[in-house]
Amino acid sequence: MTRPRVYKTEAIVLKHINLGEADRILTLYTPNYGKLRVAAKGVRKPKSRLGGHVELLTRSAMLLAQGRNLDIVTQSQTIDSFLPLRSDLWKTSCALYMAELVDSFTEEQDENYPLYRLFIDALHWLESADEGLTLRYFEIHLINYLGYRPQLLWCASCTGPLEPVTNFFSADVGGVLCPSCGHPDPFGRSISVNALKVMRFFQDSDFASASRVRLDRELSLELEHLMRYYLRYLLERDVKSVEFLDLLRQSRSNRGKAGA
């Protein structure tokens, strides 16, 4: 969508970088203009009117003016600051992981309203739903909206039916392979019957239905590893925040064992 010289947009802040003594460069995701990099001048000054309205993971109504290199935030008013996430380091970290995925997979000014809506909804789901389930649902629908929906209904190579046995998930072919096609594939990763069922269900259900699924620890970890593998293949690099999530989870686990 073409942007006028001065325009209004709703936006959520994906990341920010300090610039000079008082400014910041913000990476925003918007419903109608896609991803934008903009300047927030003087935002780090104590009396800045922008202040908390352009913090990370804050959804705001903004007034922007086109600039020579970067558009400039002239006004901003918070719509939702997702406070329940900010009081929990684990939930905040999960939210930042989702923000990194949105940032990594999108190009500037490439509109994708369904993805914007998914991200906003997922932040709300994260406030009260199981974090692992929420992240897997978000990942599966993110790649769907970006055109990378994996084939889960039949073999992505021979197109034959998938039997209820351990099959293979291949990022290279973008879907599940039957045992005959999967064994020779160097990119194949085994996928259990239950993991395949969950991924199929998540692909075509709303979150209210998906949230009723109960994942035990083993199944949750299998789904996490499969999705990480696929995302890494698509991005051709690791997602940076994954390492911090793993460290934080290990720390939480150690504290739990110590308490027990």
Identify which of 245, 256, 259 has the alpha carbon closest to the alpha carbon of residue 95.
245
Q: Where are the alpha helices (DSSP H) in 146-239?
A: 179-182, 193-203, 207-210, 217-235
pLDDT bin (cut points 50, 70, 90) of residue 238 is: very high
Q: Which of 95-99, 167-171, 242-246 has the lowest mean pLDDT?
A: 242-246
Rounded to whole angstroms, how far apart are CA atoms 15 and 54?
Answer: 10
- Could you report the per-residue pLDDT of 94-107, keeping only the tens digit for each? 999 999 999 999 99
pLDDT reported for residue 154: 97
The C-alpha R_g of the chain, in whole angstroms, comes to: 20
Rounded to whole angstroms, how far apart are CA atoms 70 and 211?
Answer: 40
Residue 94's CB is within 10 A of a number of other CB atoms, namely 23
- Could you report the per-residue pLDDT of 172-200, keeping only the tens digit for each? 999 999 999 999 999 999 999 999 999 99
pTM, two decimal places: 0.94
With 80 as the cut, is the pLDDT of residue 254 above it?
no
Q: Are 148 and 135 in contact (CB under 8 A)?
A: no
pLDDT reported for residue 256: 60
Angle at 94 between CA 89 and CA 96, to 5 degrees: 90
pLDDT bin (cut points 50, 70, 90) of residue 251 is: confident
User: Three-class SS of residue 202?
Assistant: helix
Domains and CATH numbers, the chain: 6-81 (2.40.50.140), 84-259 (1.20.1440.120)
